[in-house]
């Protein structure tokens, strides 16, 4: 892990509420919700990597 995030109590409460709603959307199954989150994070990481590669390609071409 390369970055540690610290939350204050307000942020922690907001995150907890979002997590509970996300699990509820998966019929109360936290494992199913976790698997979905892993897939979503993978897709987001691929998009970020592609954006980063595009920026590096533009910088090299300049």
DSSP string, 19-62: HHHHHHHTTT-HHHHHHHHHHHHHHHHHHHHHHHHHHHHHHHH-
Residue 57 has pLDDT above 80, yes or no: no
Q: Looking at residues 3-17, what average pLDDT do you find?
A: 95
Residue 4 lies in a domain: no
pLDDT in the model for residue 39: 96
Residue 2 lies in a domain: no
Q: Please report how the helices 30-61 and 9-25 are oriented relative to each other, as an axis angle in degrees rounded to 10.
A: 110
- The model's confidence at residue 48, banded by pLDDT at 50, 70 and 90, is very high
Q: What is the pLDDT of residues 22-34, one digit of tens each?
A: 999 999 999 999 9
Which residue segment(s) compose the domain that 15 sits in?
A: 9-61
Count up the domains in the chain and report the number. 1
Residue 14 lies in a domain: yes
Residue 45 has pLDDT above 60, yes or no: yes
Residue 1 lies in a domain: no
């Amino acid at each position: 892990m390369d970055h540690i995030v610290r939350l204050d109590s307000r942020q922690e409460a907001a995150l907890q509420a979002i997590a509970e709603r996300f699990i509820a959307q998966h019929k109360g199954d936290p494992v199913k919700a976790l698997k979905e989150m892993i897939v979503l994070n993978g897709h987001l990481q691929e998009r970020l990597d592609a954006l980063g590669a595009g920026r590096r390609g533009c910088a090299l071409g300049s």
